[in-house]
Structure 1
Amino acid sequence: MTISHLHYITTNAAAAELACQGGVRWVQLRVKNQPYAVWKQLALDTQAVCRRYGATLILNDNPHLALEIGADGVHLGQADMPPTEARAMLGPSFIIGGTANTFADVQRLVATGVDYVGLGPFRFTHTKENLSPILGLGGYAEILGQCRATRLMVPVIGIGGVLLADVGALRTTGLHGIAVSGSIGQAENPVAAAQLFNKELTIGVTA
């Protein structure tokens, strides 16, 4: 499977629509503290958008709902269902991603067979509660260097307060890609913002 270089994290279908208009082809729906019926409707609405644009839909934290609606995959935080359990439930074709903050986290996730790792946070962000220690550019360089040294080949996605101006420096660390929320969703023109991120990420990229 192909893991996108640009992951867009949102809470609703309308924002996903604008991001997809700007070229986003990987949408993670993150819903917190909502009844199952509300969560399901948000997921179905976002799935309809993704299908129109040929985008991948990843649900955050909810393997049961992902299975029910036939989403493309799930992203699991460190306090969520273990990836091995999710894999047993969802089967081999579902995409499973996991959250990491340290090299040990990455090793653990790779051992469970995840398809990609979301590594962060890059900097402080208001979009997530109970934030793990900030990594910064140096943290990414160190952890990805350890991955190369031990031949851990899983795609690693940088996440947490990433701005357009950060992309060039982040790419030098060896990250496969980045995940963005507010830098697209809260932009004055989300479509144009998505286009700029896509352009920055695809310069010199062949895979």
Structure 2
Amino acid sequence: MSAGESRLRGLYAITSQAVVTEPGRLLGAVAAALRGGVRLLQYRDKWNPAAVRERHVRRLLPLCRAHGVPLIVNDDAELARATGADGVHLGAADAALDEARRLLGRRALIGATCGNSLQRARAAVAAGADYVAFGRFFPSTTKPDAPPAELATLRAARAELDVPLCAIGGVSPDHVPLLIEAGADLVAAIAGVFDAADVETAARAYAKCFT
């Protein structure tokens, strides 16, 4: 078990396009989300140049660590290594998990996107993933064309796999109890947290489902 895995339960907040591209917004929004009860934060940024992404991660790290929340970088193990981030989340088309582990070391937190595939989740866990993510479970504004995932897959993964399970894709606070019942340890939210008018209140609405 790598550092942080044992406490992976609750809201997994992932930065939205607006929050990473609108000048001056990122740190305040993340601080609000952390106050609202985020347990894991992913810096997802498909839009800024490398230098901006690195600067953002370096600024977010002390904020996350002050709250005891691991900071994960989306799809970029090299950036995670360069900045000292706590780990990386890899999609199906991203760098191999074993390569990320080699770069980041045994204690890094590495997650893998598995869509609706239990087979993919098995392979990720066998390769050393600390958690696996399934989705999308509901209509998503971030990835509207992503194939749907089934609660049955989440239940099957819960019965078989010992790592934390994350549910993602259009998840609102109203959905969280159903996902927890099906086996989710984490629920991930992007727009539901960071595109909300009140980020702290939005985060708290998810987080309180785990108490």
Compute the TM-score of the two structures, normalised by the length of structure 2: 0.87
Cross-structure match for 2:23: none
* 2:87 pairs with 1:73: yes
Match of 1:144 in 2: 154
Listed as ranges, the gaps of 5+ residues in structure 2 are 21-25
In structure 1, distance between residues paired with 2:41 and 2:170? 17
1:114 corresponds to which residue? Answer: 129
Residues 36 and 203, structure 2, Cα contact 8 Å, conserved in 1 = yes
1:7 maps to 2:16? no
Q: Do residues 124 (structure 1) and 139 (structure 2) align? A: yes
CA contact (8 A) 1:177 1:201 kept: no
CA distance in 2, matches of 1:116, 1:74: 11
Q: Residue in 2 aligned with 1:158?
A: 167
List 4+ stretches of structure 1 deviating above 4 A.
none
Q: 1:30 to 1:108 in 2, by over 3 A?
A: same
Q: Is the 8 A contact 2:91 2:112 kept in 1?
A: yes
Q: TM-score, normalised by structure 1?
A: 0.88
Equivalent pair of 1:119/1:159 in contact (CA under 8 Å):
yes
Match of 2:40 among 7, 19, 26: 26
Q: Do the aligned partners of 1:117 and 1:157 also contact (CA within 8 Å) in 2?
A: yes
Aligned counterpart, 2:190 = 181
Alpha-carbon distance between aligned partners in 2 of 1:4 and 1:40, rounded to the nearest angstrom: 27
- Match of 2:73, SS state, is strand
Aligned to 1:105: 120
Contact 1:98 1:118 in 2 (8 A): yes
Aligned to 1:82: 96
Say if 2:56 is the partner of 1:56. Answer: no
Q: Structure 1 pair 190/43, CA: closer, same or farther in 2 (3 Å)?
A: same
Count of residues in correspondence between the two structures: 196
| Per-residue Cα deviation, 1:148-206 (whole angstroms, up to 9, x for no partner) | 55x3212110001100111111111111120111111122221112112111122xxxx
Aligned-pair identity (%): 37
- SS of 2:38's equivalent? coil
* Unaligned residue ranges in structure 1 (runs of 5+): 203-207
Query: Aligned letter for 1:111?
Result: A
Computed over aligned residues only, the root mean square deviation of the Cα atoms, in angstroms, reads: 1.6
1:98–1:117: 8 Å Cα contact kept in structure 2? Answer: yes
Partner residue in 2 for 1:92: 106
> Would you say the 8 A contact 2:113–2:132 is kept in 1?
yes
Q: Which amino acid aligns with 1:122?
A: F
Q: Does 1:38 align with 2:63?
A: no
Once residues 180 and 74 of structure 2 are traced to their aligned partners in structure 1, the CA distance between those partners, rounded to angstroms, is 25
- Residue 205 of structure 1 is matched in structure 2 by none
Mapped to 1, the partners of 2:70 and 2:49 lie a distance apart of 24
Alpha-carbon distance between aligned partners in 2 of 1:49 and 1:97, rounded to the nearest angstrom: 21
The AA in structure 2 aligned to 1:92 is R
Tell me the SS of whatever aligns to 1:162. Answer: coil
